[in-house]
Amino acid sequence: MQLLPYLTGQGLLRYVDGSIPRPIQTIIVTPEDSGRRSIIVNLEFTTWYHQDHLVLSTILSSLTEEVLGSVVGLLTSRDVWCHLEKMFTSTSRAWIMQICMQLTTIQKKDMSIADYFNKVKRLADILSVVGKPLEDEKLTAYMMCGLSPEYDALVTSITTRVNQYTIADVYAYMLSYENRQEHNNTIVQISFANTASRNSERDGNNNNSRHNHGLGRGGCQQSGGRGGGRRQGEHPTPSKVVCQVCRKEGHDALRCWYRFDHNYQADDNKVAATVSNGYIVDPNWYMDTSATDHITNDLDRLTTKEAYTGGDQVQVANGACLSILHTGNSYIASLHRPLYLNHVLHAPKINRHLISVRKLATYNNAYVEFYPNSFFVKDQATKVTLLSRRCKNGLYMLPNKWPCQALLFAKITQECWHQRLGHPASLVTLRVLHNNHIVVAPDKSSTSICDACQ
């Protein structure tokens, strides 16, 4: 099937369909001057022979090894073509029945719409090759039969339409419906996670209320006791929204009248009051035993950094996914040696700076001991305490007290370190970089042996 357009375009199809028969190889001529007959090679045969072998080589190059063994001994393109036609015609009927049965029983299951459509379309193309093409209406029916019940709305919409859809239209509608289903599932998961979080907070408040039951003055459930306790059923006053433009309460910046008034200036006293009562960014690091990576929202904390081009995201406890913009390295000052934070993720929307306990211990050859009121970071070999802090408000926190970096370092390639260290072996260079916690930049153009070492 693939050879027919090529042979037709080159004007060579007549060699395989019998339109140009094989000329005789030799002819007898009688010169007029001598009168004696002689046998010479037919020029038409020579021309036909060269063209026929060109077609023959094209056909043989397109055959598989199994089929190629069945045409051994056939000398012309016409003989090979006829043999292949007989061989495939005898099996095409069983092949057609098998393909039709696969189309009848095919199911989408866990496949995506794109994979499911390509699989059905591939079977339909096979039927077209053997001379049994499917109409668009039948092919659409096969596709609709294999969809799961969650696509019933789409199936009803397509099958009840008066005008017939093309295969391209059906594929576009299926993709659009799949994208809509995935969007709805994501919203449901996030809503479920938020609901579960609110329920857990509500359960915690109920437990606190049960523990405070029966207290004297100041108890939350006592209706008349002194001490300012909140009465049962009384809700806390919600925090008021303060506009960032006019510094007034009751609305946000999106709904402010002075949003596009560039000549407006807010009252300085209100600005100072708003700043003092506003949200303050927490600069501390927090130890997290469940975090798989170090995460920060402050890009200035990274001593080395590079833009992140991957597709991974940070998933937090409520199910939301936060984008990663950069990756880099940092460190924490300790009593004896710095504690290195390698492969820190920069996620601007994260609320806290998190330290992965596993990565901290792995990359620094250390271990962490947690106690109810404090924690210790110790060297794994010498057992010397490198860092110790007290627990605050139930969290194991590291204050951000080390000075800011005056200079950001740029990562250099391994080849540059190889030259700086006096051209040692590659294994020696890697060992020195690893022992000194030096991160190198990837270099795709570097060779295994530099010019000076050759």
What is the CATH classification number for the domain harbouring 296?
2.40.70.10
Contact 418, 429 (CB under 8 A): yes
Domain shared by 10 and 67, yes or no: yes
Domain shared by 262 and 176, yes or no: no
Domain shared by 250 and 330, yes or no: no
Could you say which residues of the chain have pLDDT below 50?
A: 192, 208-238, 271-279, 402-408
What pairs with residue 388 in β-bridges?
376
Domain shared by 355 and 436, yes or no: no
231, part of any domain: no
Report the C-alpha gap between 295 and 327 in whole angstroms: 9
End residue of a domain, out of 62, 89, 116 = 89
218, part of any domain: no
Q: How many CA atoms lie within 13 A of 23 on its CB side?
A: 15
Burial class (CB in 10 A: 0-12, 13-18, 19+), 256: middle
Q: Sign of torsion, CA 118 122 123 124?
A: positive
120 Cβ partners below 8 Å, 6+ apart? 103, 106, 139, 142, 143, 146
DSSP class per residue in 160-184: T-SSPPPHHHHHHHHHHHHHHHHHH
Domain shared by 267 and 163, yes or no: no
100, part of any domain: no
Domain shared by 360 and 308, yes or no: yes
pLDDT at 220: 39
Report the C-alpha gap between 389 and 287 in whole angstroms: 11
Query: What DSSP character marks residue 218?
Result: T
Tokens of 34: 């001598």
123, part of any domain: yes
Contact 242, 278 (CB under 8 A): yes
pLDDT at 332: 86
pLDDT at 278: 43
190, part of any domain: no
Selection from 285, 284, 291 nearest residue 356 by Cα: 291
* CA distance readout (Å), 364 to 328, 342, 437: 16, 10, 9
Map residue 442 onto helix, strand or coil. coil
End residue of a domain, out of 180, 208, 225 = 180
Contact 229, 222 (CB under 8 A): yes
- Which letter, b or e, does each residue of 195-232 get, where b requires 16 or more Cβ atoms within 10 Å of its Cβ? eeeeeeeeeeeeeeeeeeeeeeeebbbbeeeeeebeee
Residue 334 is which amino acid? S
Domain shared by 437 and 338, yes or no: no
pTM, whole model, 2 decimals?
Answer: 0.33
Domain shared by 46 and 68, yes or no: yes
Residue 79 structural domain: 3-89
Domain shared by 37 and 81, yes or no: yes
348, part of any domain: yes
208, part of any domain: no
Contact 106, 98 (CB under 8 A): no
Tokens of 295: 């995460």
213, part of any domain: no
Domain shared by 259 and 299, yes or no: no
Question: Total domain count for the chain?
Answer: 5
Domain shared by 266 and 299, yes or no: no
Domain shared by 276 and 293, yes or no: no
DSSP class per residue in 366-386: EEEEE-SSEEEEEETTT--EE
End residue of a domain, out of 128, 155, 180 = 180
Rg (CA), the chain: 39
